[in-house]
């Protein structure tokens, strides 16, 4: 669990980063010190070789070869030297600080170093590293009696300088340096941990707890920002978000309350409308019948007959209003069946064509073939089509074009049959467009304002939707959408032939 947390991952990554960086510096330091020790030892050995060479030359000039051996044994007693010797180019030891080596073969590594023309090398042995330094001895003029004429190599002076004591000191220094680096890594990691705990983890933990309170519905939560950094700006953004959520909650509660009041009023209006409609419809039928009987007593050319006809016309209008009120208050239950949208539109347009105002309107039909049938109430859907088409025709009093389109669309993974009914009338102002589905809202002198409200009510019963889009001077488009699927208790639909 620790490594899955943010602080655990940062701590491990910081530790790895510090270890790699400081470890690389430590190794570089150790390597540099080792090179420095080797170079210093080489300079010391070369200086020692020069001194030994001059001493040997002085002793050999007077023919005192025993003094050369004594001098090599004395110098070889230095604890820093693993050996001092003179060997022949063929590999035989001529003189040595260790008398037992005289006459034996030199170490093959020494001989190969000389044959490669290298004056120094490092040999790794059981006692540690040894620096091998070689210096060829050239014959001089005074060497002619013993070595003949000509300048040649008559021997190789070799000093083996032990690096073990220096490496021991280097190891101690490196161990101290490594321990110091480990301590530094621990201090840096602890410091990063404390800084992260103080400035990142603690604010994030507090922010997480406050977010849980907001998620639980407490929008009074606020955080105090004490730093002007990324975390501080995050806290400010959190406070701003909570304030916006609080305002949205207040607005939503207010809107919900308004909708509840509206729904309650509409329910009351519906019940009242149904009651009033029942109380008015029966006396209205009796009055209409009585006046019709009276109208039969007047001849066709009697002026009173015209008055009676006007009264009957107004009674018919009142009856239509009462019927709308009754239907809005208590709509009938839908009787579902498979319905062909194109066939139902054609049937509806046939009846609409008989309307007096439809004679100067040009019809344009763009019906998509092979539409799947929809599971709806045919009578209720035809009532929706009829109301919308009549509204479109009445909007074009001076003539125009009535456009009827059908097509199949995909919306969020659902197939929809869309019916679009458009007119070329004057359009609907934006202020009125938001109210057209409100009950009793109308811009007509003879309307009740219940037509579109009833249409939306019927479409909700069918599981569909009705939408209106309009611009002043460009006409109006009414979109009716019905879902395509299968009957809840029956087989899936089949496409139209």
Per-domain residue ranges of the chain: 6-170, 219-330, 334-483
Alpha-helical (H) ranges within 395-483 are 430-433, 451-462
CATH topology identical between 219-330 and 334-483: no
**Whole-number pLDDT of residue 143:** 57
pLDDT for the residue numbered 491: 45
Q: Which helix (H) or strand (E) holds 364?
A: strand 361-367
The CATH number that domain 219-330 falls under is: 1.10.287
- Any bridge partners for residue 374, and if so which? 339
Q: Check residue 84 and report its DSSP letter.
A: E
Q: CATH homologous superfamily for 6-170?
A: PAS domain (3.30.450.20)
Tell me the pLDDT of the chain (497 aa) as tens digits.
Answer: 555 666 677 777 777 887 788 778 878 877 887 788 778 877 877 787 787 777 777 766 666 667 777 888 888 787 778 888 888 888 898 888 888 888 888 888 888 888 888 888 887 766 677 888 888 887 665 555 565 565 677 788 888 888 777 777 777 777 887 788 788 878 887 887 787 777 777 777 887 888 888 888 787 888 777 667 777 778 888 888 888 888 888 888 888 888 777 666 666 666 666 666 666 766 777 777 777 777 777 777 777 777 777 777 777 767 766 676 666 655 667 788 899 999 999 988 888 887 778 888 898 999 998 899 999 988 888 889 988 998 899 888 888 999 999 999 888 778 899 999 999 988 888 888 878 887 766 766 566 667 788 888 888 888 899 999 998 888 999 999 999 865 544 444 444 43
Query: In the 8-state DSSP scheme, what is residue 449?
Result: S
Which class would CATH give 334-483?
alpha beta
Return the pLDDT at 107: 87
Question: Is residue 462 packed enough to be buried (19+ CB in 10 Å), middle (13-18) or exposed (0-12)?
Answer: buried
Q: Are 92 and 106 in contact (CB under 8 A)?
A: yes
pTM of the predicted structure, to 2 decimals:
0.42
Structural contact between residues 480 and 422, judged by C-beta atoms closer than 8 angstroms: no
- 331 contacts 454 by C-beta, under 8 angstroms: yes
Q: List, in sequence order, the alpha helices (H) in 95-153.
A: 108-115, 144-147
Positive/negative CA dihedral, 87, 88, 89, 92: negative
pLDDT for the residue 493: 44
How far is residue 332's CA from residue 428's CA, in Å, rounded to a whole number?
Answer: 30
Are the beta carbons of 475 and 422 closer than 8 angstroms? yes
Strand partners, 153: 138
Q: How far is CA 477 from CA 65, 363, 489, in A?
A: 127, 15, 35
| Residue 139 DSSP class | P
468 CA to centre of own chain: 37
- Quick one: pLDDT at residue 482? 92
Reported as type and span, the H/E element at residue 410 is: strand 400-411
How does strand 465-471 pair with strand 400-411? unpaired
Which residue from 440, 435, 460, 458 is spatially nearest to 450, judged by alpha carbons? 440
Distances (CA, A) of 332 to 318, 327, 379: 21, 7, 11
Contacts of 400 (CB under 8 A, 6+ apart): 361, 362, 423, 424, 425, 475
pLDDT of residue 197: 77
Please give the angle made by the CA atoms of 147, 148 and 149, to the nearest 5 degrees: 130
């Amino acid at each position: 669990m620790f490594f899955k947390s943010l602080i655990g991952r940062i701590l491990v990554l910081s530790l790895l980063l510090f270890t790699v960086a400081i470890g690389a510096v430590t190794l570089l330091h150790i390597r540099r010190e080792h090179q420095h020790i080797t170079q210093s030892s080489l300079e010391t050995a070369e200086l020692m070789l020069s001194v030994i060479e001059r001493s040997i030359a002085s002793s050999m000039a007077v023919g005192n070869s025993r003094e050369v051996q004594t001098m090599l044994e004395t110098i070889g007693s230095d604890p820093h030297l693993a050996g001092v010797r003179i060997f022949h180019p063929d590999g035989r030891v001529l003189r040595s600080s260790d008398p037992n080596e005289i006459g034996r073969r030199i170490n093959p590594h020494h001989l190969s170093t000389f044959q490669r023309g290298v004056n120094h090398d490092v040999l790794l042995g059981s006692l540690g590293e040894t620096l091998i330094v070689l210096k060829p001895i050239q014959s001089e003029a005074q060497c002619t009696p013993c070595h003949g004429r000509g300048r040649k190599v008559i021997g190789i002076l070799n000093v083996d300088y032990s690096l073990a004591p220096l490496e021991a000191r280097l190891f101690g220094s490196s161990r101290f340096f490594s321990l110091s680096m480990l301590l530094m890594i621990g201090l840096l990691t602890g410091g990063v941990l404390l800084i992260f705990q103080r400035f990142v983890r603690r604010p994030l933990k507090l922010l997480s707890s406050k977010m849980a309170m907001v998620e639980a519905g407490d929008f009074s939560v606020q955080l105090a920002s004490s730093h002007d950094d990324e975390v501080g700006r995050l806290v400010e953004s959190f406070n701003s978000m909570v304030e916006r959520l609080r305002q949205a909650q207040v607005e939503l509660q207010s809107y919900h309350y308004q909708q509840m009041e509206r729904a309650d009023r509409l329910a009351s209006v519906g019940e009242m409308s149904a009651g009033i409609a029942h109380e008015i419809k029966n006396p209205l039928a009796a009055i209409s019948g009585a006046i019709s009987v009276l109208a039969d007593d007047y001849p066709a050319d009697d002026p009173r007959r015209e008055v009676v006809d006007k009264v009957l016309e107004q009674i018919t209008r009142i009856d239509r209003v009462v019927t709308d009120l009754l239907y809005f208050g208590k709509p009938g239950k839908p009787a579902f069946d498979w319905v062909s949208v194109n066939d139902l539109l054609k049937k509806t347009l046939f009846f609409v064509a008989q309307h007096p105002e439809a004679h100067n309107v040009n019809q344009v039909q763009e019906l998509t073939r092979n539409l799947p049938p929809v599971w709806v109430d045919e009578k209720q859907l035809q009532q929706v089509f009829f109301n919308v088409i009549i509204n479109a025709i009445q909007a074009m009093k001076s003539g125009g074009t009535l456009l009827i389109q059908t097509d199949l669309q995909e919306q969020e993974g659902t197939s929809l049959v869309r019916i679009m009914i458009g007119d070329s009338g004057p359009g609907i102002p934006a202020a009125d467009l938001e109210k057209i589905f409100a009950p009793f809202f109308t811009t007509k002198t003879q309307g009740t304002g219940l037509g579109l409200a009833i249409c939306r009510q019927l479409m909700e019963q069918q599981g569909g939707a009705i939408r209106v889009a309009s611009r002043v001077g460009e006409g109006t488009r009414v979109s009716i959408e019905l879902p395509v699927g299968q009957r809840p208790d029956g087989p899936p639909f089949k496409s139209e032939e």
